[in-house]
């Protein structure tokens, strides 16, 4: 069964550095999402993406964040200048036209020191 994949599984970075988290959604899916989960807390919506543009973003998704679909398979989340409070698990998800069920990737655990 096809699955959403994410790389890297773990990323450690220094505060102020840029990080790019990568996701490969399921191949026939058209809608893409990023969520984050701070340790021990709930999953929080960051951004949704469709037709090469952002559909919706939350209050968390400020100017430090950006998303891109650089080619036909990858979907990336960039954090321009990381802060300590960006430490979290970041999940990518995707779904297809007419389907509301979202399928999650395994996540990238980001640690900002």
Partner 1 sequence: GENVEQHPSTLSVQEGDSAVIKCTYSDSASNYFPWYKQELGKRPQLIIDIRSNVGEKKDQRIAVTLNKTAKHFSLHITETQPEDSAVYFCAASKTRNNDMRFGAGTRLTVKP
Which residues contact partner 1 by CB under 8 A?
A: 31, 33, 35, 41-45, 48, 55-56, 58, 91, 95, 100-107
Residue number with CB closer to partner 1 (13 or 58)? 58
Residue 10 C-beta: closest distance to partner 1, Å: 11
The dihedral built from the CA positions of residue 71, 110, 38 and 59, taken in this order, carries a sign that is negative
For residue 82, the minimal CB distance to partner 1 (Å) is 21
Please compute Rg for the chain using Cα positions: 13
Q: Is the CB of residue 112 less than 8 Å from the CB of residue 101?
A: no
Between CA 69 and CA 32, with CA 59 as vertex, the angle to 5 degrees is 25
CA distance 17 to 63: 15
Of residues 14 and 100, the one with the C-beta less far from partner 1: 100
Minimum distance from residue 95 beta carbon to partner 1 (Å): 7
Looking at beta carbons only, is 62 or 71 nearer to partner 1? 62
């Amino acid at each position: 069964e096809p699955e959403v994949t994410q790389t890297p599984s773990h990323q450690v970075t220094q505060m102020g550095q840029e990080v790019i988290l990568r996701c490969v959604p399921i191949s026939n899916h058209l809608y893409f999402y990023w969520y984050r989960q701070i340790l021990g807390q709930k999953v929080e919506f960051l951004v949704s993406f469709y037709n090469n543009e952002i559909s919706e973003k939350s209050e968390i998704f400020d100017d430090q964040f950006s998303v891109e679909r650089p080619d036909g398979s990858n979907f990336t989340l960039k954090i321009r200048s990381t802060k300590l409070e960006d430490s979290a698990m970041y999940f990518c998800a995707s779904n297809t036209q007419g389907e509301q069920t979202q399928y999650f990737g395994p996540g990238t655990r980001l640690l900002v020191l």
